[in-house]
Amino acid sequence: MSDTLAQLADKQAITELIYTYCRAVDRLDVPLGHSVWHEDGYADYGAAYYRGPGRGVIDLICQHHLGLLSHSHQVANVLIALDGDDAGSEAYVTGTMRAERDGKLFQIGVWGRYLDRWQKRGGRWGLLHRVVVFEHQEMRETTDLPSHGVPSSRDRDDPSYAILAKWP
């Protein structure tokens, strides 16, 4: 079955919200992270981590990430099923984080999937319910390599904000 242009636009809007979520936690941009969720959204990251209001998980993740040296989240294999103003999606996520413990550098890897329910309200898609399925996680001691290129920043001083602000 072929998607109409409106369906493709809806799928793209949802995909960009999934990407925006990752950008928000990597830049510790709480307001940006909140913007992905509907006010009544619910997040289920498992009983051991977080179950509760969707916007609350953004607060918690950003707070926990302050204790890390760096972090980067990517999503792939995004599948979206539309049903009018409702949608479901699955996206594979990889999170890589760096931490220092007892003078040693560690790399943390998390692999999982975001299983999301979306709703379009007032012409805007928002996240209504997320379940995170964790496939596996690891932590390894590592050695840092010399840094090359432009350094990133975990706030609005990151160079990406300047370049993306030029295009609404």
SS3 of 158, please?
Answer: coil
Which pLDDT score is estimated for 80?
98
Beta partners for 89?
80, 116
Rounded to whole angstroms, the Cα distance separating 65 from 48 reads: 17
Q: Considering just the CA atoms, what is the radius of gyration of the chain in Å? A: 17
pLDDT digits (tens, 9 = 90+) for 49-99: 999 999 999 999 999 999 999 999 999 999 999 999 999 999 999 999 999
- The pTM (predicted TM-score) of the whole model is 0.90
Q: List the one residue out of 32, 22, 40, 160 whose CA is nearest residue 95.
A: 22
Residue 130 vs residues 36, 88, 142, 148, 157: alpha-carbon distances, Å: 11, 10, 32, 36, 29
Q: Which domain holds residue 10?
A: 5-164
CA angle 60, 132, 29 (to 5 degrees): 35
Q: Average the pLDDT over 119-126 and give the result.
A: 97
Rounded to whole angstroms, the Cα distance separating 82 from 15 reads: 12
pLDDT digits (tens, 9 = 90+) for 135-163: 999 999 998 888 777 778 888 888 888 88
Number of domains in the chain: 1
Which pLDDT score is estimated for 94?
98
Rounded to whole angstroms, the Cα distance separating 158 from 28 reads: 11
Rounded to 5 degrees, what are φ and ψ at 135? -85, -50
Place of tokens 């990406």: 160
Rounded to whole angstroms, the Cα distance separating 78 from 161 reads: 25
* Model confidence at 168: pLDDT above 70: no
Rounded to whole angstroms, the Cα distance separating 119 from 75 reads: 20
